[in-house]
Structure 1
Amino acid sequence: METTHYATLDETLYQQTLANGLQVTMLPKAGYHKTYAVMTTNYGSIDNYFVPAGGSDYTTVPAGIAHFLEHKMFEKKAGDIFEVFSRNGASANAFTSFTRTSYLFSATDNIKTNLDTLLDFVQDPYFTEASVNKEKGIIGQEIEMYEDDPNWRLFFGIIENLYPKHPVHEDIAGTIDSIAKITPEQLYQAYHTFYQPSNMNLFVVGNIDPVETLAWIEANQADKEFAPATPIQRQFPEEASDGSDIIPYRMTQLPVKRGKSIVGIKGLAPVSRDRAGLKYRTELNLLFDMLFGDSSQNYLQLYDQGIVDDSFGYELDLARTYHFATLSGDTEKPQQFSDAIISLLEKASDNPDLNANRLALVKKEALGRMLQSMNALEYIANTYSGDDFGDASLFDLVNIIDEITLTDIQSVLKQFVRSAALSVFHIEPLAGDDAK
């Protein structure tokens, strides 16, 4: 078992890749009563075009199948897995993102039993025609709920502008029509392709002995037979490197009291999956904190002018095959909002908020948030399992944040913020009595 000690954080990671390819990472936390474990497969909603395990030709599966598979994994012939966890004092859940699917539990005791339960149910698929058809109705209601959410519509509206061809613009849950096409055979096909142990990782953090915990996991895996690992082949539509495939503007009307505006920025250059990629993401986060954080002059001026309010926010999403940033808010004048944000972005290289003193401030703030988050077991496990930067991880962020300079910020601004990479999506209230 390999160990890596991070002196700055006084944390030690224990790692082992099992014979079947499963990557196990453990982080003991002295003084904690709770243990949190998450098992993650490198498979998400965008992976709809791939070569099935044992096959030779590419196939297309319905949008939403990764999320559908996540739901169905908890239902077994013997009953509901949630009840099994509950009987053993654990709280369980799962989630699907664009690129990952994770299954998790937290508990204060019966850790071995709950770890066995997690490993066993994730590695034992069970789908029937009847149960799949029943789930379509349940997920269909979930989809309809999101379709009625204006913020959800705003978010996917801008993604569709930025990525009109890439499957990242499709709702993670799919659509009513797409999930209607899902069959048990397709679920098994996706499962055997992407749920190979070599495509998965298990992170355990909390009140654990890493040597004992690894022995439990190895014993569990040794009792099972797995098909030989096969290379995973997936393809995505080619993106225009100059941003020419971006839709510059769209709008829709919904029954909302106030309008909504969102500005999106598409990353046009590929991001390396190593420490340099993690540094790049950190630089972008610091850049937006400098330009639009609630202590920036830009934000204060926009607020005083009534262009933004407390609903304003910005975020960066960076994963394999795509990355983008969004800035959004509720507003009476969506066009004024997006024009003001774009003007600031396009003139950002000369913005007075981009200075060494402000960089030092936002670096301290980022470091403080990061160190505070390291007290949350869920944050540590989910962030570590969800990132893909080779040997670099959130445990390297203290050093990465420290080494970033104003020159780095100016460089990443020039690389990422380009006029050709910008897009706008607006939601405006329905006219007359239809608004609410």
Structure 2
Amino acid sequence: MQKIDYQLLGETLYQQTLPNGLTVSLLPKADYHKTYAVLTTNYGSIDDLFIPLGQSDYVQMPAGIAHFLEHKMFDKKDGDIFEAFSRQGASANAFTSFTRTSYLFSATNQIKTNLLTLLDFVQQPYFTAASVAKEKGIIGQEIEMYEDDPNWRLFFGIIGNLYPKHPIHHDIAGTVESIAQITPAQLYSAYQTFYQPSNMNLFVIGHFDPETIMTAVSANQQRKTFSEPTIIHRQFPEEDASGHDIIPYRVTELPVQRGKSIVGIKGLTAVSQDRAGLKYRTALNLLFDMLFGDSSRNYLRLYDQGIVDDTFGYELDMERTFHFATFSGDTDHPQQLSDAVIKLLENAADNPDLNEKRLALVKKEAIGSALQSLNSLEYIANSYSGNHFETASLFDLVPIISEITLADIQSALHRFVRHEAFSVFHIEAQSAGDD
């Protein structure tokens, strides 16, 4: 078992890759009463075109199958696994994102028992035609609920503009039509391909002895039989590095009190999955804080002009095969908001808010936020489990923030903010009498 000391943060991480390929990371925190565990597979909603285990040709799966599989994993022949966790004093959950599926629990006692329950239920699929048919109705209602959410429509509207070919533009849950096609055989095929231990990681954080937990996990895995680890072949549409496939603008009307505007920027260059990639992501986040943070002159000016309000926000999503940034808010004048955001970004190189003094301020705030986040077991576990920077993690974030210079900010700006990478999506209030 490898021991990694992060002296700056006062944290010690224990890590081991088991013979079956499962990576186990343990972060004991003696001052906490709760323990939080996350078992993650590197499989999300975008992975719908792949070569199934034991086959030689690519197979297109229905949109939403990763999310559907996550739901079905909790159904067992002997009943619902949630009940088992509840009897053991644990709270369990799961989620699917674009690139991963995670199963988790939190508890203050019976940690070893709950951990083995987590491993056993995720590593023992059970699907029947009847249970799959029933789940289609449940998830169908979930999909319809999100379709009525204006913010959800806004988010996927801009993704559809930025990535009209990439499967990221599909709702994570799929559509009512796509999930209707899902069969138990397809679920087993996706499970066997992506739920290999070598494609998964277990992260446990909280009050426990690392030697005891690692021994228990190792023994649990040794008792099970798995197929030999295989390379997973996924396929994605080729992205146009010139941005020609981006849809520049779309608008829709919905029954909302106020309109909504979102500006998206598509990353047109590949990001390395290492420390340099994490540094690039961090530089972009600092750039956006410098330009649009609550204390920036840009934000205060736009706020005073009534162009933005407290609903305005920005976010950077960076995962394998894609990265993009969004800037959005509620507004009575969607075009005015998007025009102002684009103008600021395209002229950012000469913006007075990009200076050494302001960089020092946002770096200080970012370091404070990062250190505060490390008090949350859930944040650490979910961030570490979903981290796709293979040679760096959230424990490297504070030193990376500290070393970023204004030149790094300008470099990230010129690399990412390009005129051809922009897109806009608006939601306008329906006119009186519209259906």
Query: Normalization by structure 1: what TM-score?
Result: 0.99
Q: Distance in 1 between matches of 2:261 and 2:169?
A: 18
Mapped partners of 1:254, 1:84: distance in 2: 43
Alpha-carbon distance between aligned partners in 2 of 1:213 and 1:113, rounded to the nearest angstrom: 10
Residue 167 of structure 1 aligns to which amino acid in structure 2? P
Q: Distance in 2 between matches of 1:361 and 1:353?
A: 11
For residues 77-106 of structure 1, give each alpha carbon's deviation from its aligned partner in whole angstroms, at most 9, with x where no partner exists. Answer: 000000000000000000000000000000
Give the structure 2 partner of residue 387 of structure 1.
387
Within 5 Å, which residues of 2 pair with 1:357-368?
357-368=357-368
- Cα separation, 2, equivalents of 1:291 and 1:144: 37
1:61-140 aligned at under 5 Å gives the runs 61-140=61-140
Which letter does structure 2 place at the counterpart of 1:342? Answer: I
Residue matched to 2:11: 11
Contact 2:313 2:329 in 1 (8 A): yes
Partner SS for 1:338: helix
Q: What residue is the counterpart of 1:258 in the other structure? A: 258
* Distance of 1:80 and 1:201 partners within structure 2: 24
Deviation at 1:134, TM superposition (A): 0.1
The answer for the alignment partner of 1:2 in structure 2 is 2
Q: 2:429 — aligned with what? A: 429
- Match of 1:82, SS state, is helix
SS of aligned partner of 2:382: helix
Task: Give the deviation of 1:433 after TM superposition.
Answer: 4.3
SS in 1 for 2:370: helix
After TM superposition, the structure 1 = structure 2 runs for residues 124-273 of structure 1, keeping only pairs within 5 Å, are 124-273=124-273
How many residues align? The count is 435
Instruction: Give 2:295's aligned residue.
Output: 295
Using the TM superposition, give the Cα deviation of residue 58 of structure 1 relative to its aligned residue in structure 2, in angstroms.
Answer: 0.3
* C-alpha distance after superposition, 1:348-399 (max 9, x if no partner): 0000110000000000101001100100000000000001111210000111
C-alpha separation in 2, matches of 1:400 and 1:345: 24
CA distance in 2, matches of 1:229, 1:65: 22
Question: Secondary structure at 2:39's aligned position in 1?
Answer: strand
Helix, strand or coil: the match of 2:186? helix
1:309-362: CA deviation from partner (whole Å, max 9, x where unpaired): 000000000000000000000000000010000000110000011000000000
- SS across alignment from 2:86: helix
The answer (yes or no) to whether the contact 2:273–2:391 under 8 Å persists in 1 is no
Runs (4+) of structure 1 exceeding 4 A deviation are none
**C-alpha distance in structure 2 between counterparts of 1:412 and 1:275, whole Å:** 15
Which residue of structure 2 lines up, in the alignment, with residue 59 of structure 1? Answer: 59
1:316 matched to 2:290? The reply is: no
Structure 2: segments with no counterpart, 5+ residues: none
Aligned partners of 1:58 and 1:307: how far apart in 2?
Answer: 48
Q: Which residue pairs with 2:44 in the alignment?
A: 44
Instruction: Measure the CA separation in 2 of the matches of 1:30 and 1:401.
Output: 28
The residue correspondences of 1:318-397 to structure 2 (distance < 5 A) are: 318-397=318-397
Residue 282 of structure 1: CA displacement? 0.5
| % identity of equivalent residues | 74
Q: CA RMSD in A?
A: 0.7
1:29-73: CA deviation from partner (whole Å, max 9, x where unpaired): 121000000000000000000000001000000000000000000
Q: Distance in 2 between matches of 1:270 and 1:315?
A: 19
**For residues 210-255 of structure 1, what are the alpha-carbon distances to aligned partners after superposition, in whole Å with 9 as ceiling and x for unaligned?**
1111001011111111011111000100000010100000000000
Shift of 1:434: 4.9
Partner of 1:401: 401
SS in 1 for 2:426: strand
> Any stretches of 5+ residues in structure 1 without a counterpart?
none
Q: TM-score, normalised by structure 2?
A: 0.99
State the partner residue of 1:413: 413
1:156-199 per-position Cα deviation (integer Å, ceiling 9, x unaligned): 00000000000001000000000000000000000000000000
Letter in 1 for 2:330: D
In structure 2, the residue corresponding to 1:12 is in which secondary structure? strand
| Distance in 1, Cα, partners of 2:259 & 2:434 | 14
Secondary structure in 2 matching 1:239: coil
Aligned-partner Cα distance in 1 for 2:196–2:99: 15
Worse overlay, 386-395 or 266-275: 386-395
Q: What is the CA distance between 1:131 and its match in structure 2?
A: 0.2
3-state SS, counterpart of residue 112 of structure 2: helix
For 2:213, give the aligned amino acid: T
For residues 30 and 211 of structure 1, the distance between their equivalents in structure 2, rounded to whole angstroms, comes to: 14
In 1, Cα distance between the equivalents of 2:113 and 2:271? 40
Partner secondary structure for residue 247 of structure 2: coil
Distance 1:3 1:251 in 2: 53
Take 1:6 and 1:371, find their aligned partners in 2: how far apart are those partners?
A: 13
SS of aligned partner of 1:359: helix
